[in-house]
Amino acid sequence: MKTFFLVFLFSLSHVFAQSDQLKFAATIKNRNSDSLLISSSTFQRVVKAAKNGVFNDSFTVKEGAYFLDDGTESTHLYLKNGYDLTMTIDASKFDETIHFEGNGSKENNFLASNALVEEDFVNSLGEKMTDPVFLRKSFEEHLESVNSLLSNGKYDPAFIKNVMDSKRIWMDKSIKSLEVSLNRKTINGLPSPSFKFENFAGGFSRLEDFRGKYVYIDLWATWCGPCKQEIPFLEKLQKKYRTKNIAFIGISIDKPEDAGKWKAMVAKNNMGGVQLIAGKDRQCEFMKIFEVNAIPRFILIDPNGVVVNDQSFFPSMPELQELLDKLVK
């Protein structure tokens, strides 16, 4: 009896030990890296691929939202102890192929599918991105739709609160950023401040290196979803105007320690134009004078170094091609 009781206690403690941890596994086709970073503002965990290529780990987490980053792409996770998650992805079609199985899969499959919905939502905003009133109305309608899906899906109340709180923060930041941008002083018609940033092709590049050409600047970062959505449109513009007197310059504002992610993304996507990274100079005079407080941000400068538009049209906007057709020869 005593032996049975001890075995029972051991089994019980083993069960509780398992429920006190998160079990995470991932199988990634066409993977970008041999390690994954799972992180939040207060947590970091690197999960390495085993010899069979599968990522597998168990660890303790605080219930809430996390990021999963493979060095090139990233996605949202919702984690808590007791979850037993198995994730599959084809990294060549990252967002479109994310799928989860196991305990916790319902919540995380929602986040994966909702990321695609958010892309469509951002793309649908169009001209509303310049009007705080319409932007708020659009966000509120979007949030109401998401809340309805969560409520009807009978998700855990803690998960619903986490998702909705994060979306409200996103809405408030977006509207605040737009208001600040609209209220700031323009420097159109004035000489542009210069810059000297690291070039992906090697060495450093300055604005003066492109004197005699129009310069279309794309301020972006590897973690910026809306920035990535503009890349295909930007590539089309680069091909259309490749023989004209215009230089397309991408300036990443990724942190210096994330320069590797920037290089990997530029290489993987074979990004054209001139690719620079501000790195440790993210707070330089160029950024301060243009008051860069939100991305993506596009700036158009004329051949003499004078600012044509410090809030230029996005590559996806037909107005940009109309403008360039008039300016560029």
Catalytic center residues: 224, 227
Maximal C-alpha separation, the chain: 93
Going by C-alpha positions, the residue among 55, 93, 33, 45 that lies closest to residue 264 is: 33
CB 204 within 8 A of CB 286: no
CB 226 within 8 A of CB 315: no
CB 220 within 8 A of CB 252: yes
> What are the DSSP E strand ranges found in 125-278?
196-199, 204-206, 214-220, 246-252, 274-277
Reduced to 3 states (helix: H, G, I; strand: E, B; else coil), residue 318 is helix
CB 122 within 8 A of CB 142: no
Going by C-alpha positions, the residue among 210, 192, 221, 223 that lies closest to residue 290 is: 192
Going by C-alpha positions, the residue among 306, 307, 262 that lies closest to residue 282 is: 262
Strand 214-220 versus strand 246-252 pairing type? parallel
- 84-100 exposure pattern, b = at least 16 Cβ within 10 A, e = fewer: bbbbebebeebbeebeb
Both tokens of 176, joined, read 């605040």
> Which residue bears the tokens 């060095």?
71
